Amino acid sequence: MIRNYLSAEQLELWHRMVGEAGNIVVLGHSGPDGDAMGAILALTAYLQGLGKKVTPITPNACPDFLRWLPGVEQVIFFRNKQRKALKALEECDLVFCLDFNGLSRLEELSGSVERCKARRIMIDHHLDPEEIADLMVSDPEAAATCELLFCILHQLGAYEAMTPDIATCLYCGLMTDTGAFAYNSNRAALFHIVGMLIAKGIDKDKIYRNVYYSYTESRLRLMGYLMYEKLEYFPEEHVAMFALTEEEMKRFNFIRGDAEGFVNLPLQIKGTRLSISLREDTEKPLVRVSLRSVGDFPCNEMAERFFNGGGHLNAAGGWLPKPIDSAVLTARQAIKSLSKKE
């Protein structure tokens, strides 16, 4: 039931690349989510168990609700510690690229990684991966990168010695990338993996509470404000949309991660097939766009066509230039284009 992702040739290449490497960097994408952080920390712990020197790096910080993950204190956030991150890239002889399918997802770190002479291994579940690594493990059908990583570790014979901390990180990635198993998770094989992780002694209920029950009062009030004051609904297209400005974020004492999950809320409206969230970036002159859908609605196609992005069938993202009013107009055009097709 557990898939072997590596062919005999790839397995040999993996052993050679990892075996010859003494100094390894493990990378995750900008704005690291639960899947990226879970994969980074699980692989870091596994490699350290092999006696490797490992430096986990992400372009910027993870949300506060992931700061409890085992080993998170090891992660270098490039935006905060640029010299340390660049030194690690200069000295490493192997780079793992986890949960991203192109170097552009590393944003300001991408150039340094591209110039890095170390060999690369990519493990990812997003569509249309770019050829960025010597060994690439890609499966868009997987629920999360943590699913791929679990299967690889299992194939390597690492399950028996898997620690509860590694299992916790992998479960967190699976849980968060499926909305607590509410979407993209209707496969028996996935729940077989979940059962194997639970067998390692994880507390799945505590993991859920740590992620979803650890927000501030301000975040809850912001959620109510968005749903009551800002939500737009388009009944003919069965689409919901809301926009969050930088001024509103300041008003509600916004911290990184506070908007996590908001885009899913309008999908609770009966008959809704698509939800769109727009949020002003506080560090760059752009508007972050998130899309979530149900059923067979391809929000990844809409992200590509209108929002300079992409993603999965039911979960995608992108961006638009500021001002946010202009971004809202573009989103409305995207929504209206749906009625023209029908």
Name which of 111, 134, 125 is nearest 21 in CA terms. 134
The answer on pLDDT for 83 being more than 60 is yes
Name which of 265, 279, 258 is nearest 215 in CA terms. 258
Q: How far is CA 72 from CA 69, 80, 92, 178, 201, in A?
A: 6, 15, 20, 21, 20
Between 283 and 196, where is the model more confident?
Answer: 196
Measured CA to CA, the distance from residue 106 to residue 122 in angstroms comes to 13
User: Mean of the per-residue pLDDT values for the chain?
Assistant: 96
All domains of the chain in start order, with CATH: 8-212 (3.90.1640.10), 217-341 (3.10.310.30)
pLDDT at position 183, please?
86
The answer on pLDDT for 220 being more than 90 is yes
Q: How far is CA 51 from CA 22, 24, 97, 144, 191, in A?
A: 8, 11, 20, 27, 31
Amino acid at 73: E
Name which of 59, 73, 5, 69 is nearest 28 in CA terms. 59
Phi, psi torsion values for 45, nearest 5 degrees:
-65, -40
In this structure, the chain runs to a length of 342
The answer on pLDDT for 23 being more than 60 is yes
Element (H, E) at 83: helix 82-91
Name which of 18, 105, 29 is nearest 54 in CA terms. 18
Measured CA to CA, the distance from residue 239 to residue 274 in angstroms comes to 5
pLDDT at position 136, please?
98
pLDDT at position 339, please?
78
Measured CA to CA, the distance from residue 290 to residue 127 in angstroms comes to 16
Q: Where are the alpha helices (DSSP H) in 142-240?
A: 145-155, 164-177, 188-198, 204-212, 217-225
Residues 15-38, mean pLDDT to the nearest whole number: 97
Long-range contacts, 43-49 (Cβ 8 Å, 24+):
43/96, 43/98, 43/149, 44/71, 44/74, 45/70, 45/71, 45/163, 45/165, 45/166, 45/169, 46/153, 46/158, 46/166, 47/18, 49/161, 49/163
At residue 242, the 3 state secondary structure works out as strand
pLDDT at position 342, please?
53
Phi, psi torsion values for 287, nearest 5 degrees:
-115, 125
- What DSSP line would sit under 20-69, residue for residue? H-SEEEEEE-SS--HHHHHHHHHHHHHHHHTT-EEEEEESSPPPGGGTTS
Residues 103-126, mean pLDDT to the nearest whole number: 96
Element (H, E) at 246: helix 246-251
Measured CA to CA, the distance from residue 148 to residue 136 in angstroms comes to 11
pLDDT at position 335, please?
97
Measured CA to CA, the distance from residue 243 to residue 258 in angstroms comes to 14
Question: Cβ neighbours of residue 84 under 8 Å, at least 6 residues apart?
Answer: 76
Question: Cβ neighbours of residue 151 under 8 Å, at least 6 residues apart?
Answer: 2, 3, 4, 5, 193
Residue 283: band (very low, low, confident or very high) from pLDDT cuts 50, 70, 90: confident
Amino acid at 126: H
Residue 160: band (very low, low, confident or very high) from pLDDT cuts 50, 70, 90: very high
DSSP state of 103: G
Residue 10: band (very low, low, confident or very high) from pLDDT cuts 50, 70, 90: very high
Residue 341: band (very low, low, confident or very high) from pLDDT cuts 50, 70, 90: low
